[in-house]
Amino acid sequence: MRSQGDELTHETMSTHDPDGVTLCVHSVCVREDMRRKGVALKMLKAYLQYVQATTPLKSVRLICKSGLIPLYEKAGFQLVGPSSVVHGQDPWFECAYVVDDGDE
């Protein structure tokens, strides 16, 4: 989903704006027998490369539980902090990947 905002909220996670400058990733799923083999990291890096080459975006954002923060950091995301989005009892954390616009 795309949104105009630079923060993930319940609204940005449920409403698509085709002209949005932020891409909201809802989930990254890997089949159980393929986990912990680098598959998620390879998928994320390939997806981010594709998005950067084909879509006019400023950032890609997602929320995750604390145990997945290192995975997303390895893919190039930076931890923003605790998310305002609540699902269940465990806290969620927002991570952001800033898209390189090629101007630097």
Q: Does residue 11 form part of some domain?
A: yes
Count structural domains, the chain: 1
- pTM of structure: 0.82
Tell me the pLDDT band of 88, cut-offs 50, 70 and 90. confident
Task: For residue 51, give the CATH number of its domain.
Answer: 3.40.630.30
Given its phi and psi angles, is residue 68 left (phi above 0), alpha (psi -120 to 50 degrees) or beta?
alpha
Q: Which domain holds residue 16?
A: 2-98
Q: How high is the pLDDT of residue 16?
A: 79
Classify residue 66: in a domain, yes or no. yes
60-64, 76-80, 86-90, 93-97: which has the minimum mean pLDDT?
86-90
Q: Is residue 70 part of a domain?
A: yes
Instruction: Name residue 70's beta-bridge partners.
Output: none
In whole numbers, what is the pLDDT of the chain averaged over residues? 86
Helix (H, G, I), strand (E, B) or coil at 38: coil
Question: Average pLDDT of 38-48?
Answer: 96
Q: Count CB neighbours of 55 within 10 A.
A: 13
Q: Looking at the domain assignment, is residue 61 inside a domain?
A: yes
Tell me if 103 is assigned to some domain. Answer: no
Mean local confidence (pLDDT), 91-102: 87
Q: Which distant-in-sequence residues (6+ apart) come within 8 Å of 43 by Cβ?
A: 28, 30
